[in-house]
């Protein structure tokens, strides 16, 4: 159905009003004739008709201009704000402009009719748009910051910082879920009872993937760390981080007052969802790093990563002027064992042997597979004598080891060379490693199954190993 006959509503109105005036001008003479009893020749004269039609047209025109004056002003006001708003949006999207002050585009609602309602709707639309834009900017900024963080710790710090600010929290903590267990990767001002956190409800929250907010509850496992003690928070929130329907971590936020933002709004969920893939990627990256660093057969560090760690330890020892003891180990007559019992038997020995090394060293110490049947053990802070004590214990243990392979009971021994930085002729890392090699070579030459401490003199100090009496 055609709603108007010209191209513009106001032209339509103009024609309707003038048409209505003409109609009234035509009807008016009849109206005067019947009601006012004026003589026919006066009423139905062309002059009276013309006057009435002219008056009708005049009223129609007046009405039209009155409408223009009253209503059009409001419509124009709305139109100019919409134009300015649209121009600003174009500026934001195409020219990366930033300034968007909703106050500038706000329209006062001063009429209780459709025009008032339209004005009100415009205001709501504009402020909603502003909020969405702000949220989008915040998320984009968050993403940009996360993309710059390659390391898990730095990324976790950014996530906690942004969440804290957004939700108005005083403290926060981020956990990654690795092999089904929560591992803390960042903690900002919180004291968390890990035993309480380990309880099933925490894992339930993560499994369900739903945010939970606790308010005014005693016995919360979370408190604020204020240096000299701790304070009970007013509210805490558990926010599971979900990536592709699978939990990858948990963020705990707490506040002394009330949280600023609603955790369940679309905006909040979007923000939280942005963090999850980054956490997931860094967990994967860490796994890859571990895979790349570990020797497949023995599960010890491989040579490349082991030497990198040795370098770190060397730099630390140099900086703090502390000793660094390194031992090179080589299994005795391993070729013969391989030749007699097969390569698989040799592999079993290597696995068992590495297991014993891991049992014997502490967390601050480390071992690496230097090559085939050669291993290196690094003991930061140890003197040659202390290092010898550790390696001698290991030597005895290996000597008494019997590895069951098929119907055979296999046993092996090893020779080892120890060198300590700093020492005579040992002023850098290369010299340190070379010295262990020289000492190992001497241990082999002296009959194997023994440990030699490197000495710069031609006859190196040999600490005699006691034969195992077991
Ligand atoms: P020595 O007492 O002088 O060290 O004699 P050795 O036989 O142990 O020394 P050699 O260097 O001649 O032989 C090392 C052998 O280690 C040779 C190689 O077959 C074996 N080997 C190296 N890597 C592996 C491995 O991953 N698995 C097995 N089964 N054997 C390996
Ligand atoms: Mg060898
Ligand atoms: Mg060997």
Q: Can you tell me the distance from the alpha carbon of 204 to that of 250, in angstroms, rounded to the nearest whole number?
A: 12
Q: Can you tell me the distance from the alpha carbon of 184 to that of 177, in angstroms, rounded to the nearest whole number?
A: 9
Tell me which ligand sits closest to the C-alpha of residue 450: 1
Instruction: Please write the tens of the pLDDT for every residue from 112-124.
Output: 999 999 999 999 9
Instruction: Please write the tens of the pLDDT for every residue from 364-413.
Output: 999 999 999 999 999 999 999 999 999 999 999 999 999 999 999 999 99
Looking from the CA of residue 335, the nearest atom of ligand 1 is: 7
- Any idea which of 102-106, 229-233, 260-264, 397-401 has the lowest mean pLDDT? 229-233
Task: Give, in order, the Cα–Cα distances in Å from 214 to each of 187, 188, 239.
Answer: 19, 19, 12
Q: How far is the CA of 333 from the centre of ligand 2 (A)?
A: 9
Each domain of the chain, given as residue ranges in start order, spans 9-130, 152-292, 303-453
Pick from 243, 240, 242: nearest CA to 263: 240
For residue 432, is pLDDT > 90? yes
For residue 3, is pLDDT > 90? no
Around Cβ 3, how many Cβ atoms within 10 Å?
6
CB of residue 346 inside a 6 A radius of ligand 1: yes
Q: How far is the CA of 232 from the centre of ligand 1 (A)?
A: 61
Give the mean pLDDT of the chain.
88
Contact 203, 299 (CB under 8 A): no
DSSP 8-state secondary structure symbol assigned to residue 170: S
For residue 158, is pLDDT > 80? yes
| pTM higher than the cut 0.75 | no
State residue 470's pLDDT score: 38
CB of residue 330 inside a 6 A radius of ligand 1: yes
Backbone angles phi, psi at 327, to 5 degrees: -125, 130
Residue 322 CB burial class (10 angstroms; 0-12, 13-18, ≥19)? middle
CB of residue 365 inside a 6 A radius of ligand 1: no
Q: Which class does domain 303-453 fall in?
A: alpha beta
Contact 195, 222 (CB under 8 A): no
Q: 143 vs 58, which has greater pLDDT?
A: 58
Looking from the CA of residue 332, the nearest atom of ligand 1 is: 2
Name the residue at shortest CA distance from atom 17 of ligand 1.
335
Find where tokens 């910082």 sit: 161
- Its sign, for the CA torsion 177, 181, 185, 187, is positive
State residue 148's pLDDT score: 78
User: How does residue 463 score in pLDDT terms, banded at 50, 70 and 90?
Assistant: low
User: How does residue 469 score in pLDDT terms, banded at 50, 70 and 90?
Assistant: very low
CB of residue 337 inside a 6 A radius of ligand 1: no
Backbone angles phi, psi at 378, to 5 degrees: -115, 125
User: How does residue 190 score in pLDDT terms, banded at 50, 70 and 90?
Assistant: confident
For residue 464, is pLDDT > 60? no
Around Cβ 22, how many Cβ atoms within 10 Å?
16
Looking from the CA of residue 350, the nearest atom of ligand 1 is: 27
Q: Say which residues have a Cβ less than 8 Å from residue 324's Cβ, sequence separation at least 6.
A: 313, 314, 317, 378, 379, 380, 381, 382, 420, 421, 432
> What number of CA atoms fall less than 13 Å from residue 59's CA on the CB side?
13
State residue 276's pLDDT score: 92
CB of residue 138 inside a 6 A radius of ligand 1: no
* CATH code that applies to domain 152-292: 3.30.450.40
User: How does residue 37 score in pLDDT terms, banded at 50, 70 and 90?
Assistant: confident
For the chain, the distance separating the N- and C-terminal CA atoms, rounded to the nearest angstrom, is 108
Instruction: Please write the tens of the pLDDT for every residue from 41-57.
Output: 888 888 888 998 899 89
CB of residue 348 inside a 6 A radius of ligand 1: no
CB of residue 413 inside a 6 A radius of ligand 1: no
> For a pocket test of ligand 1, which of 335, 354, 369 has the largest count of ligand atoms closer than 8 A to its C-beta?
335
């Amino acid at each position: 159905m055609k709603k108007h006959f010209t191209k513009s509503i106001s032209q339509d109105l103009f024609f309707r009003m003038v048409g209505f005036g003409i109609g009234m001008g035509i009807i008016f003479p009849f109206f005067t004739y019947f009601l006012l009893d004026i003589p026919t020749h006066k009423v139905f004269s062309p002059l009276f008709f013309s006057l009435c039609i002219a008056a009708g047209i005049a009223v129609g025109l007046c009405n039209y201009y009155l409408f223009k004056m009253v209503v059009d002003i409001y419509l124009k006001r709305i139109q100019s704000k919409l134009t300015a708003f649209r121009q600003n949006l174009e500026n934001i999207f195409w020219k990366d402009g930033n300034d968007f002050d909703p106050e500038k585009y706000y329209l006062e609602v001063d009429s209780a009719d459709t025009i008032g309602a339209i004005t009100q709707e415009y205001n709501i639309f504009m402020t909603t748009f502003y909020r969405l834009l702000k949220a989008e900017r915040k998320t984009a900024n968050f993403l940009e910051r996360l993309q710059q963080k390659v390391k898990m710790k730095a990324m976790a710090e950014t996530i906690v910082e942004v969440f804290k600010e957004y939700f108005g929290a005083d403290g926060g903590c981020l956990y990654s879920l690795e092999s089904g267990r929560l591992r803390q990767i960042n903690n900002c001002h919180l004291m968390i009872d890990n035993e309480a956190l380990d309880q099933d409800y925490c894992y339930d929250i993560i499994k369900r993937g739903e945010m939970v907010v606790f308010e005014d509850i005693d016995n919360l496992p979370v408190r604020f760390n204020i240096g000299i003690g701790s304070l009970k928070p007013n509210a805490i929130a558990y926010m599971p981080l979900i990536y592709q329907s699978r939990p990858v971590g948990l963020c705990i936020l707490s506040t002394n007052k009330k949280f600023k933002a609603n955790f369940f709004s679309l905006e909040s969920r979007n923000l939280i969802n942005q963090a999850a893939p980054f956490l997931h990627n860094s967990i994967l990256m860490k796994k890859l790093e571990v895979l790349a660093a570990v020797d497949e057969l023995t599960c010890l560090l491989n040579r490349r990563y082991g030497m990198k760690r040795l370098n770190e330890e060397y730099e630390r020892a140099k900086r703090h002027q502390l000793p660094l003891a390194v031992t090179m180990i080589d299994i005795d007559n391993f070729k013969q064992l391989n030749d007699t019992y097969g390569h698989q038997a040799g592999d079993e020995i290597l696995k068992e042997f590495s297991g014993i090394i891991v049992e014997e060293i502490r967390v601050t110490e480390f071992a690496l597979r230097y090559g085939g049947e050669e291993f290196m053990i690094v003991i930061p802070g140890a003197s040659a004598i202390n290092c010898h004590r550790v390696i001698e214990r290991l030597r005895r243990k290996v000597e008494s080891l019997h590895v069951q392979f098929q119907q055979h009971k296999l046993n092996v021994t090893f020779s080892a060379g120890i060198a300590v930085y700093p020492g005579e002729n040992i002023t850098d890392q290369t010299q340190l490693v070379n010295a262990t090699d020289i000492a190992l070579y001497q241990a082999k030459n002296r009959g194997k199954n023994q440990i030699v401490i490197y000495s710069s003199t031609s006859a190196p100090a040999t600490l005699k190993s006691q034969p195992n009496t077991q």
